[in-house]
A and B are shown apart, each in its own frame.
Chain A
């Protein structure tokens, strides 16, 4: 075959192509956010231009500021994540480690819930919420976001719990800890990493959520994913501002993603590849 060095060179080209294709849109969005509307429409699009910051200014402190939307997103994401973790951790432990009656059907139920197309939920939620006045409220949106997060979190956490050797609980029980303290003092500290990964994923999913936000939100509760459409109307699209808003909206998840990348990769692959050997 090809000599080793030649091969590595070709592979490096592949790497470069991959890097370009996957990072380009973000890069391009950044570039566009620094352009005036006229520069955006200029042809050819890769020509030099004079960068401006006014798009960001408009988007942050102008009349169309998306700061209230960032707040909306933050509230919904943080509260949903917190509730999800509190509920999912014990449930995942029970499913993974304890002799639970009906373990298989419960596991199946949780898996099925995770695979539901969200459209099937948002329609009845819309009807119910409009009757009980939960549209455009935080309670409402958080409630439906739980349907996204809870089964997913349980599924992910189960694989982390299963990673711990069975003897851990047994040793703790023999050491007179009792079931609850065995969980608290021995098992939980060992899944700290898994819980962190789950937090990241759940937060990400809720922050990026769109369908529920656009149907069930309103003027008060308007997450940042919906707010981006503020700058798009039938007459014109303010590309520069849209891009700036998108960059700001995505900044938290991008930073979170890059900071936790090792854990994210592990979490993705663990959930997917592990699920194989389990059943």
Chain B
């Protein structure tokens, strides 16, 4: 009765051809604009290319990568990347969740919170970095410093002090993107079915138990996808840090992304910079894949 293969009637084929026709322009553009340059990137990571001293250019195989393993500045950037990414993502989600829970119970004025939440999100990260650098975190006349002095914490060089700089850029990134998590979680909470809570109330569960055993598990999918999204953004964060500290002082805020940029465009060492970029991409790929698997398994 069955020929073994699924039906291949005329109109199924025409549908597939139609679909292909619709998708091909985009796929072609994507292939040209992303895949080709990426191949070029990998190729140049295997070379020594120095725009300032081009007489030394040539194919060096895996030398760039070998040198990377002994490059303390690279390891520093890796550590900073891990600290930066994990800190900001954790903060964004925890603060965002707390705010979402709080605001969702507010009787009047939720719309106000939603409206204001848009402000940090639509600003250009470079502008955010500049604002914080120039207006908020500068010693003495920055407003944050002013508050710190008033509270008795003393004046500090929030961006110029190596100890504080990383904290400050984490704070900047968190400030800008927590509203995103907030909005997503607020909407997710609004979509939760109310009758489960009523049943829980009848079962005499208090507010904390309701949150922990009902709200949190049901928000899990949204939280997971937030983690993935925010993580990829944090790994490739550039403009805000560039504007606020430029990667400094020294290398205090030089996450891998910044390091690759400085190597390529400040020191003009593009071969090595390519290798750094490839490494960052590999890390991003591995982490994203791991997170996706985690999400779909449970």
Task: Flag whether B131 is at the interface (Cβ < 8 A).
Answer: yes
Task: Flag whether A225 is at the interface (Cβ < 8 A).
Answer: yes
User: Which residues of A sit under 8 angstroms from B232, Cβ to Cβ?
Assistant: 115
Stretch at the interface among B59-67, B140-148, B160-168, B197-205: B140-148
By the criterion CB–CB under 8 Å, are A14 and B103 in contact? yes
- B residues 121-158 near A (Cβ < 8 Å) are 121-128, 130-132, 134-136, 140-143, 146
The tally of residues in A whose CB lies under 8 Å from a CB in B reads 95
| Range for the number of chain B residues in contact with chain A | 35 or more
By the criterion CB–CB under 8 Å, are A23 and B119 in contact? yes
User: Which residues of A sit under 8 angstroms from B130, Cβ to Cβ?
Assistant: 228, 232, 242, 246
User: Which residues of B sit under 8 angstroms from A250, Cβ to Cβ?
Assistant: 122-124, 127
Contact of B238 among A125, A144, A211, A277 (CB under 8 A): A211
Residue of B nearest to A256 (CB): B122
**How distant is A127 from chain B, measured CB to nearest CB, in Å?**
7
By the criterion CB–CB under 8 Å, are B113 and A18 in contact? yes
Task: Flag whether A106 is at the interface (Cβ < 8 A).
Answer: yes
- A residues 108-125 near B (Cβ < 8 Å) are 109-110, 112-113, 115-121, 123-125
**How distant is B109 from chain A, measured CB to nearest CB, in Å?**
6
Inter-chain CA distance A119–B285, complex, in Å, is 14
By the criterion CB–CB under 8 Å, are B106 and A15 in contact? yes
By the criterion CB–CB under 8 Å, are A98 and B19 in contact? yes
Task: Flag whether A75 is at the interface (Cβ < 8 A).
Answer: no
Given A106-B27, A119-B261, check contact A25 B207 (CB 8 Å): no
- Contact code string B272-286 (vs A, CB < 8 Å = 1, else 0): 011001101100110
A-B contact pairs, 17 of them (CB 8 A): A12-B109, A15-B102, A22-B119, A28-B136, A46-B143, A87-B29, A98-B19, A100-B19, A101-B19, A117-B281, A120-B281, A123-B274, A125-B37, A127-B270, A146-B33, A264-B122, A265-B118
Which residues of B come within 8 Å of A, CB atoms? Answer: 12, 14-16, 18-20, 22-23, 25-27, 29-30, 33-34, 37-38, 40-41, 44, 49, 99, 102-103, 105-107, 109, 112-128, 130-132, 134-136, 140-143, 146, 175, 179-180, 183-184, 187-188, 191, 206-207, 221-222, 224-226, 229, 232, 235-236, 238-239, 242, 257, 260-261, 264-265, 270, 273-274, 277-278, 280-281, 284-285, 288, 296
